[in-house]
């Protein structure tokens, strides 16, 4: 018998539907009742860059996803997972992305 841990975002997706990095970012901003201008300042991004991320026109690198996660107080792994999944989907690959902590090299 194998056990599989369920990520935080998998739980959210079961309840609310598929998430992308952009949709998660927009939902977070709206939940905080912030304008794009206010949220972009908080994240230290240009308003245009935030808009592009929210609309899915840009997909962050894992490094940028981790930086955004830190600024929001979220686990980096979850946002990196969403960003990687978005990158794969944009390339036409419909793979499930599951990250787990590795051992230090």
What tokens does 66 get?
């981790």
- Res 80: pLDDT: 95
Q: Write b or e for each residue in 1-10: b if 16 or more Cβ atoms lie within 10 A of its Cβ, otherwise e.
A: eeeeeebebe
Distance of CA 86 to the CA centre of its chain: 9
pLDDT tens across the length of the chain (105 residues): 344 455 666 777 787 678 899 999 999 999 999 999 999 999 999 999 999 999 999 999 999 999 999 999 999 999 999 999 999 999 999 998 888 888 876
- pLDDT value at residue 38: 97
Distance between CA atoms of residues 39 and 28, nearest Å: 10
Whole-number pLDDT of residue 48: 98
Domains along the sequence of the chain with CATH: 8-90 (1.10.260.40)
């Amino acid at each position: 018998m194998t056990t599989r841990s369920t990520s935080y975002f998998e739980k959210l997706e079961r309840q609310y539907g598929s998430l992308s990095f952009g949709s998660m970012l927009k939902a977070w901003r709206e939940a905080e009742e912030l304008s794009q201008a206010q949220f972009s300042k908080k994240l230290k991004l240009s308003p245009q860059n935030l808009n592009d991320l929210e609309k899915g026109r840009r997909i962050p690198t894992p490094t940028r996803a981790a930086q955004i996660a830190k600024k929001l107080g979220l686990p980096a792994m979850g946002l990196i997972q969403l960003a990687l999944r978005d990158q794969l989907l944009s390339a036409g690959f419909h793979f499930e992305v599951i990250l787990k902590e590795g051992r230090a090299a």
